Structures are given as C-alpha cells and as structure tokens.
Amino acid sequence: MKFTISRETLLKPLQMVNGVVEKRQTMPILSNILLNATPESLTLTGTDLEVEMVTRTQLENAEPGEATLPARKFADICRALPEEAMIEISVEGDKATLRSAKSRFTLATLPVVEFPNVDEINNPYSFQISQKYMKGLIDKTSFAMAQQDVRYYLNGMLLELADNTLRAVATDGHRLSMSEVGTEHNPEEMIQVIVPRMAVMELSRMLEDSDEMLEVQIGSNHIKFSLNDVTFTSKLIDGKFPDYDRVFPKNSDKQVVTNRMLLRQALTRTSILSNEKYRGIRLQLSSGVLHTMAHNPEQEEAEEELEVNYQGGELEIGFNATYLLDALSAVDTEEVKVWLSDPNSSCLIHGLDDEQSKYVIMPMRL
Amino acid sequence: MIIHVDMDAFYASVEERDRPELANRPVIVGGSPQGRGVVSAANYVARRYGVHSAMPTVTAARLCPEGVFLPVRMERYIGVSQQIHDIFQRYTPVIEPLSLDEAFLDVRGSEGLFGDAVSIAHQIQRAILDELQLHASVGVAPNKFLAKIASDLEKPRGFVVVEEAQVQSFLDPLPVSRLWGVGKAAQQRLHGLGIYTVGDVRESEAELLQRALGRHGMQLWELAHGRDARPVVAEREAKSVSHETTFSEDIIDASVLRASLLQLTEQVAWRLRRHSLQGRTVQLKIRFQDFTTLTRSQSLASSTDRTDTLWRAVRELFDTRLQHPLPPVRLIGMGVHGFDNESMPAQNDLFMEPDAGSELDQLNDSLRERFGDAVLQRARGLRRPGQEKG
C-alpha cells in the first residue's frame, strides 16, 4: 500500500474516525484505525465495537493495500505537520512510514485480520432525511438524555418513524424533550429504536447544516447512517423506552406566554444564587407577572420580576433551573408558551405556535 | 430557665383515658403475656404490684395476674404526643423532645409574654390536664440536667422548681444513681469509694472520680455541682433524630428486638416528617448486658423520611451487621442523620409510579393529626412481638 494525500484532505476524515476510537482500550487493535486503499480511494475505519465510523476519501494513482495504524499517533502527526503539506504513506511488512517534506515517521501496525467487523445489518428499513433535519432533531432533544442511568434505556435517544413523522425523544426521568419533522416515509409498522448516547453525540458531530440527504438504515440490532463519504453504524439499546406520550401533561390550566430570551436571561441571573448542587429555583406566577426566586445555603438571595402574558390563578412551583434553561435554549421561536397546573405536576414548554419541539419538566419540591 | 415535661405512665394513661372502664385497674401496655414481649408502660395501679416498663410481660403477668394487658398502639400515642407538642408550641418554639412523652422546653424567650418559667410550666401542666385529660410531671430548673431530675422527683403529677440558689441543697441529698449515666456498675464503684449521695460526689476530689470512672468521672463531678451547659436543641436544628429503649431485663429474643426497633423507627420517621427533615444515614445502636455498645450505620441512596425505607435499612443492619445470636441486649435504638443544611429539594420523576409508600405515610400522618387515632397501622405492628418471624 502506498499513496500520497494532502494534510487537509486526510485530516477531517481521520479526526472523525478517531472520534469513535476510545482512548483507553483493553484490546490493542481497537486503538488502531483501519486504512484500506484502492487506486482511487482511501477508506478509514474506526470502531469501539459499539459503533463504527467509516470515511471515504479520493485518491489518485494509489498502490492498493490494507493496514491498521495507531489512531492517536497517526492523527497527532498529521495535525502537527504544516498546512498544505503532502503526506506519503506506505506500508511494508509490519511498519508504516509517513513522509512529508523533510519529516519521516515509522509507525507500528497490527494485523488487519484482527480488526473487528461490525455485524452487517440484515433486512434494514431504509429511509432518507436531509441531514440538517436530523441534526435539528438531535440538537433539540439530546441534552435531555440520561447519563449512566440504571434505567439503561434512558441513556440514549428514541428515534421513532410513523405516520410520515420522524420523531426524536430523550429523557433522563426528570425532563423530557421531543422533536419531530415530517417525512414522506410511512412504514407499515411504527419503527422505534433507541440510539445510544455516545452514538447520538458522534452522529451530531458528523452532520452538517446542509440539505444533503442522510440515508438511515434500521435493523433489529443496529442503525446505520450514511452520507456521501461517511458511514456510521451503531448498536441499538435493547430495551423499552417509556411511553413518552403519557408524560405530556393534558390538564394544564395555566398558560403563560412570554418572550423567550427575557425569560431565559431572568432565569440565568436568578439561578446564580441557587443551591449549586440542586439548582432549585422558585417561580411565582400571578396575573401578568412571573417572579423568579432563588437562594443558596449561604442565605444569598436573587429575585426577578418578569411581565408575562398570563391571566389566571396564582401558582408557586419549584424547578431545577438547568432544566428550564436547557429547554428555553433549545426552542428557537421568539415567544414561548409555558403550561402549568399545580406545584406537583409537570410543566410543558414549547415555542409559541410551534409544537414541533416540546419539553416536559418535572417540578422540584423546594 | 428550662422546663422538663414528662408524661405520667404515658401509654397506659392514654389507654385509661380512652377506655374509662379501665379506671382504677392495673393497666399494662406491651407485648402479650403469651408471647415474649416487654412491658412498654404500666399505670400506677399496676406499679403497686411491682410491674414497671421494660419488664418482660410474662413477669408482669406473674406479678399482676389481674392486670389488663393491652397491645401497644403506637400510632395512637404518636397522635396524642402531637397534641401535647401543640400545647408546648403555644409557649415556645425551642422544644427538644426526648421521646413521645418527654421534652425539654427553653422558655427564656417567652417569659415576657406568658409570665416566668414557673408560671408557664403551670400553664402547660394545666393545659395538658384540661385539654387532654392526662397528667404530666414538670421540672423547672436552670438547666436540662436539673430540670429532668426535678420532674422525676415527685412523680406522678409532680411539680418541682429548682431555683438557682437552691441547686446545692436540692442535689446534695440525692443518691448518686440520680446522676446521668450512673447505672448499677458505676454505682457500685462509687459506693466502694464511700460515695452515696450527689453531695458526696461534689465534695470528692475530681481526680479521684476520674481515676475511678474515667472521663465520665469528670462529668459526674460537673453534674454534682449542678453544671450542665447543654442547650435545648429544637428539633428543626437537630443534626439527628433518634429514639432508643432500655429494657429493664436483658432481651435475647431477636423478634422482640425487631418489634422494638420497628416501633422506634415509626416514631423517628414521624418526627422527621413532622419537621420536613429527610436523612441519608440510618444508625442502629445496641447495648449488651456487659455495657458494650455497638453502632452500625448505613447511608441510603437518597435521603428519606419514609417509614418503610428506614425500617428496611435498620432491619438490614440488625439482621446482617450483627453477630447472631446476640448476647443479652440491654438497650436498642435507631436514629437518622445526614440532613442537608436546608430542607432537601426533591426532584420529582416523570416515570416514577405514584409513590405508594410515601402516600401511605402522608395519609397516615394526616389521619393521625386530624383524628389523633390509630386509623391505620402497619400489619407488623398489629402482630404480637412474640409471634414475629424472621
């Protein structure tokens, strides 16, 4: 195997593949990435056995071949070379050599046969969606995913395809976010899969704000996302996601409409003096006015008053300020609508006249 | 001044009041005489037969065959205890309950409003009698130690005031066993030194006491001078909430110990809930015949005020963290600590099934507070201790 490639052409796919290669691997081969050269293309593959990232790059007049190189060192070297540098990579025996101008590096390789293959997806359901929509779904929901929860099915994002709607749902049990987009796909049976947290983050890094179509293939154990020159495969979480529909409050009698940024700013300021551990913030609602209040164990206090569009009874309710702020940051309309009922019931937030993304937050007893 | 209020034969008096047909009969509350329970309380008629609390019920039945033996209705006593507490609350917020039937009150801040401490103590004793038809013994003194001795001195229906100037004349003639922490063993050692009264302690050399009894000797010497600097700690500021029982006869039967522990746990949990406290660490305390005392504690995943959670934890400590079979047990206790500086915020969960245990506790508490009655009771509490299994 021997080919020459510019630093800039190599660096982006290399870093993308490197993203899934874990730093501390128990299996040495997993610290390596697989290079596969044909006369016209270079394929890079990285995996941690849960996910696999494959990128394809154009080559010219390459000498075909395969090899695995230590991922981190390979990437560090390429990054450290000067801009616009041309890199020649050749493999002989169990050594790989990188040459660029007056630099030369010899790296150890590991046998290609040891490099694990992620299982092929059998009989997948395939559909396409523009990558910016997919990225939007992730950006609007992924922050609510659980981290290392014993309810392992919460440590990921639910992707649901049904009735010409692709929906993403994430929840850590305290709050839930849901976002959906229309699609021309309408599978006979509703498709529901849970994509692991790690994979969601990688996918988000891979996607751009572009109209280019993303191909999604869903099998029984795996999901595969393909763009022109990148393929990302992940195992699915085998579990039952909670019935998210049940979580949306149905009987909220108090509706508040207010400017999203003003509310967010007020909460941001107030929360500075909330208990750092619990982030509890108290909301006091009365006709036309929302008070936000917080205090910490040092007895410091913050209070703000915000004019809101609300007519109705008074309510005092506590929340984790972070959850409110996360939701308000994910909404992108100028005005938000907040639905409340009583101090023990969840609150629903969405953009005014925009229910494509909705956020449910459970209150906190302060 | 500090007031110590101690209800007279509390459980038995509540039973007597609730059931007038028991008047003038020996009433003994506790485990059944058929089982292997312990007397929780005996009224004064029963005491004339030599029956006293913490005595095995079998012994009580032998001493007093005509006694009326009643099961412990803990929920009921907790309800009445709350009513007593409500009376205290009218006079001062600084209340430190020692158990359901005993509390210290610091009234220094309320004397301008309700009269001096002696007058307040009279008002409280009178209110408890008028409103609840129950008798209390009251001690009024410059500190907790003296107030507690004072309330005990003329029980039942006692009312003893110790003024600052009378402290020595009040203390000196008392037997040393009146001093806190002087049990049989210490008493014997002191008698060996020719020390029989509190006055003897006061006049001894502090070093002598220290040699005989260690650090505790110094404490006795301080107490004998009527010195006790410990403040009355209102429950809200308490760092822990605990209850313990000393048995009059050492107990070997683990099921009796478990039944006692459950009662203690119910009291502790209720006090936590009443003060909106949630603790994270559960402690079991056990003292054996030879006075060795062991404590075992464990931290919970999250803080709680729930009876069932606390009971599970303390029971696990009892079952798994002690070497069974246990040597004879003299005292058993449980406590909860690890409160947050402020009452702990609790994040509600979207998917948590309605918290059945917690709702049960709340329902139970509210019924108890409204009706002051044992409307609901845990099944285990209904069983007789002697029938307890595993």
Q: What is the percent of chain B where pLDDT is above 70?
A: 87
Residue B272 — pLDDT band, cuts 50, 70, 90?
confident
Do A106 and A131 lie in a common domain? Answer: no
Do A242 and A129 lie in a common domain? Answer: yes
B383 has pLDDT over 50: no
CATH code for B11-70? 3.40.1170.60
Q: What is the interface size between A and B, counted as CB pairs within 8 Å?
A: 43
What is the rounded CA–CA span in Å between residue A87 and residue A77? Answer: 10
Pick the last residue of a domain from A192, A219, A246: A246
Evaluate whether residue A120 is within a structural domain: no
Q: Which two tokens stand for residue B87?
A: 């009376």
Give the CATH number for residue A191.
3.10.150.10
Judge: domain B174-224, CATH 1.10.150.20: yes
Evaluate whether residue A258 is within a structural domain: yes
Q: Which residue range(s) make up the domain with A235?
A: 125-246
Please give the pLDDT value at position B382. 44
Bond before A196 cis per omega within 30 degrees: no
B141 has pLDDT over 60: yes
CB atoms within 10 A of CB B5: 26
Evaluate whether residue A264 is within a structural domain: yes
Do A258 and A229 lie in a common domain? Answer: no
Instruction: Choose the closest CB to B350 out of A247, A297, A318.
Output: A247
Residue B359 — pLDDT band, cuts 50, 70, 90?
low
Contact B347 A275 (CB under 8 A): no
Instruction: Choose the closest CB to A366 out of B345, B351, B352.
Output: B345
Which residue did the predictor score with more confidence, B367 or A213? A213
3-class SS of residue A334: coil
Please give the pLDDT value at position B84. 94
Residues of B recognised as catalytic: 102
For the ranges B172-186, B241-255, B308-322, the maximum mean pLDDT occurs at B308-322
A122 has pLDDT over 90: no
Q: What is the pLDDT of residues B319-345, one digit of tens each?
A: 988 988 899 998 999 999 888 644 557
Q: Count the domains in chain A.
A: 3
Q: Long-range contacts of range B195-200, CB-CB < 8 Å, 24 or more positions apart?
A: B197/B172, B197/B173, B198/B171, B198/B172, B198/B173, B198/B174, B198/B223, B198/B224, B199/B168, B199/B171, B199/B172, B199/B173, B199/B224, B200/B176
DSSP string, A108-155: E-B-GGGSPPPPPPPS-EEEEEEHHHHHHHHHHHGGG--SS-SSGGGS
Do A255 and A305 lie in a common domain? Answer: yes
Looking at residues B243-268, what average pLDDT do you find? 87
Residue B388 — pLDDT band, cuts 50, 70, 90?
very low
Provide the shortest C-alpha distance from residue B85 to chain A (in Å). Answer: 26
Which residue did the predictor score with more confidence, B175 or A149? B175
Domain coordinates of chain B in residue numbers? 2-9+74-167, 11-70, 174-224, 238-382
Residue B374 — pLDDT band, cuts 50, 70, 90?
very low
Instruction: Choose the closest CB to A174 out of B341, B344, B349.
Output: B349
Which residue did the predictor score with more confidence, B18 or B74? B18
B355 has pLDDT over 60: no
Range of weakest confidence among B5-9, B174-178, B211-215, B308-312: B211-215
The set of residues, in sequence order, having a beta carbon less than 8 Å from that of B298 and lying 6+ positions away, is B281, B282, B313, B316, B317, B321
CA–centroid distance for B254 within its chain:
21
Contact A360 B350 (CB under 8 A): yes
Do A253 and A336 lie in a common domain? Answer: yes
Q: What is the pLDDT of residues A297-318, one digit of tens each?
A: 788 999 999 999 999 899 999 9
CATH code for B2-9+74-167? 3.30.70.270
Provide the shortest C-alpha distance from residue A173 to chain B (in Å). Answer: 5
Looking at residues B104-118, what average pLDDT do you find? 88
Instruction: Give the mean pLDDT of chain B.
Output: 84
Do A82 and A156 lie in a common domain? Answer: no
| Residues of A with Cβ-Cβ distance to B305 under 8 angstroms | none
Q: Which two tokens stand for residue A9?
A: 């052409």
Evaluate whether residue A119 is within a structural domain: no
What are the backbone dihedrals phi and psi of residue B105, each rounded to the nearest 5 degrees, phi first? -125, 130
Q: What is the pLDDT of residues B155-180, one digit of tens each?
A: 899 999 999 999 999 999 999 888 87
CATH code for B238-382? 3.30.1490.100
* Interface predicted TM-score (ipTM) of this complex, two decimals: 0.80
CA nearest to A363 within chain B: B348
Is residue B284 within 8 Å of B321, Cβ to Cβ? yes
pTM more than 0.80: no
Evaluate whether residue A366 is within a structural domain: no
Q: Locate tokens 């913490």: which residue? A: B54
Instruction: Give the mean pLDDT of chain A.
Output: 94
Do A7 and A87 lie in a common domain? Answer: yes
Evaluate whether residue A343 is within a structural domain: yes
Q: What is the percent of chain B where pLDDT is above 90?
A: 39
Do A151 and A256 lie in a common domain? Answer: no
